[in-house]
Amino acid sequence: MSAEGIRPKGNRLFLKKSVAQIQKEAAKSELKRTLGPINLMSLGIGAIIGAGIFVLTGQVAAANAGPAIMLSFVVAGIACALAGLCYAELASTMPVSGSAYTYAYGTLGEVFAWIMGWLLVLEYGVAASTVAVGWSGYVVSILHDFGLSESIFPTIQYAGGEGPQWATPLVQLVQDAGATSFPLTGTFNLVAAIGIAAVCSLLVLGVSESASINNIIVVIKIVVLLTFIAVGIQYINPANWTPFIPEPTGQPGQFGVGGIFRGAAIIFFAYVGFEAVSTAAAEAKNPSKDVPIGILGALIVCTLIYMAVAAVMTGVVPYLELASPAPVAVAIDRMGLEWANVPLASAAGGQLNLISFLIKIGAITGLSSVMLVLCYGQTRIFYTMARDGLLPKAFAIVHPKFRTPWIGTIVLGILIAIAAAFLPISILGDLVSLGTATAFAIVCLSVIFLRIKHPEMERPFKVPGGIFTAVLGILACLFLASQNLIPMFQHAAEDNPLPLMLLGGYAAVGAVIYIIYGFWNSKLAKGIDITEDVKLESAAEAFGRGVDNKKDD
């Protein structure tokens, strides 16, 4: 029906989609169930291995955990595993597109669904900005290998440091003598903005990744990291691991045990991608079996790789020198692999190091694919929310020729590019990790709600430990979220309110949009059955297939 139907009863803010309705949306999808456990695990690894390892590892080692960043990865991985089990139960029960947003709509109600959707925007959109900043660091590094960086990106000085012009954010975070400041650099990260623009242009034109292409990219990234580990082991100086847990500076989260937990909270960002596995539940051959294998398998593989890369990185380069958007490049260059040099007149010093070049190319390729996946996921969430009436219809309009949601892609691309151009990677990483940890806690809460309210529901996969495990997941995720939130309040009280202002402003914008638009246009509140109201079979199909989005009104 395209007209308004029977309006649901109950508290307006806590209206819920019935599980039957969500399962109907899944059943209406024409997506083929072709993904097995290996493809799902590969999808997870492909989305997880990105800026977390190629970018944030150096930042966290230098500012928070030192060599003990290896333990930070373990802490973050355990929290993600607890949340991942909850994702797996929900995905097996409701294998539908929209992932955590849809789960929240079916268990906790519309206001929680909106909060989850807005958190996912923070997770995907700001994560894409963070990846873009790291991507720009590797682009500049590889141009430096060819002797081009100084002519294109001359080094500029700013309060507290220096960086390449047009590849350094407008706002920079500087920590000196325990004080934190955010000086303006007088430039902005044009390279990162160009990267986002290129990815969004491809999405507008209808470029999507197939499972086979993703598998190839995953192999490239793993080969790059394994090569880095294999080569780097020979250049490790054990003295760089001493002390393994640096003495705390007295500032919260700077080294010591507190630094390990603060580091875990920041690099929680590194595990964002595993949610992509639950998002693909609607296309899994056997969701109850394959999705848990995909989620937990990807987490285990990536945690082991992360720990090994972090061990080599901090063993080759003193941890205080790793504060770079491209720490893998810093470590490779520090190794001085003269045996891999080949003559090249245009290269710096007349020689090009093949190992360094290939690893940086692999990093750029990997980060490019992650940017594409994150921007794709961002637009999918907006499409799903627009389909439910919580966001303007413009985000669900498809291009008549390219058959993609072009307006939403362009708008989001502009916002993501602005964030990448103007904000430092440290602030972006904090925002992503905070949003991700909070979203994961809501997913765990959804499992508890369903276990209590619908104990009779068929659950092809059940979380081991049930409600107890879900509660542990909530506590772990909220603890890590607090490790990002508390420093924001401390900075606001002591030196600079910028991080808290950004978070508060983001939350305020979300609240205003819901109050002004979403509350009044919710199709669930109007009693509209979206599976009949639109010709699209599902949000995923709208994205992947570009079906025309015309109403029956």
Cis preceding-peptide flag for 243 (omega within 30 of 0): yes
Q: Which SS3 state, helix, strand or coil, does residue 523 take?
A: helix
Q: How far is CA 452 from the centre of its chain?
A: 31
Spatial separation of the C-alpha atoms in residues 542 and 384, rounded to whole Å: 10
Assess contact for 390 and 514: CB atoms under 8 A.
Answer: yes
Task: Compute the chain's Rg from CA coordinates.
Answer: 23
Non-local (6+) Cβ contacts of 396 within 8 A are 383, 386, 387, 405, 408, 542, 549
Locate 222 and state its tokens: 């793993």
Spatial separation of the C-alpha atoms in residues 187 and 551, rounded to whole Å: 46
Spatial separation of the C-alpha atoms in residues 360 and 379, rounded to whole Å: 29
Terminal-to-terminal C-alpha distance of the chain = 9
Spatial separation of the C-alpha atoms in residues 317 and 313, rounded to whole Å: 6
Locate 46 and state its tokens: 């492909």
What pLDDT, on a 0 to 100 scale, did the predictor assign at position 11?
67
- 389: region left, alpha or beta (phi > 0 left; psi from -120 to 50 alpha): left
Spatial separation of the C-alpha atoms in residues 291 and 284, rounded to whole Å: 7
What pLDDT, on a 0 to 100 scale, did the predictor assign at position 377?
74
Assess contact for 189 and 166: CB atoms under 8 A.
Answer: yes
Number of Cβ within 10 Å of residue 365's Cβ equals 16
What pLDDT, on a 0 to 100 scale, did the predictor assign at position 31?
47
Assess contact for 463 and 86: CB atoms under 8 A.
Answer: yes
> Can you state the percent helix, strand and coil of the chain, rounding each to 5?
70, 5, 25
Assess contact for 111 and 13: CB atoms under 8 A.
Answer: yes
Nearest to 284, CA basis, from 535, 79, 99:
99
Per-residue model confidence as pLDDT tens for the chain (553 residues)? 344 444 555 566 778 777 666 666 655 554 456 677 887 887 778 778 876 788 788 889 998 999 999 999 999 989 988 998 898 888 777 766 556 787 888 888 899 889 888 888 777 888 888 889 889 988 998 888 888 877 788 988 887 678 899 999 988 877 666 667 778 888 999 999 999 999 888 888 865 544 566 677 778 888 888 889 999 999 999 999 999 999 998 877 889 999 999 999 988 877 777 776 776 666 677 776 787 888 888 888 888 888 999 999 999 999 999 888 788 888 988 898 888 888 887 777 788 888 888 888 888 888 887 888 788 777 778 878 888 899 998 887 877 877 777 888 899 899 999 999 998 877 887 888 888 888 889 889 999 988 998 888 878 788 899 999 999 999 999 999 998 888 888 878 877 788 888 889 989 999 999 999 999 999 888 877 655 444 333 333 332 333 333 333 3
Assess contact for 142 and 364: CB atoms under 8 A.
Answer: yes
Assess contact for 295 and 45: CB atoms under 8 A.
Answer: no
CA atoms within 13 A on the CB side of 115: 14
Q: Which SS3 state, helix, strand or coil, does residue 158 take?
A: strand
DSSP 205-235: HT----HHHHHHHHHHHHHHHHHHHHHHGGG
- Please report, for residues 92, 199, 364, 412, the alpha-carbon distance to residue 409 in angstroms, rounded to integers and kept in the order given: 30, 10, 22, 5
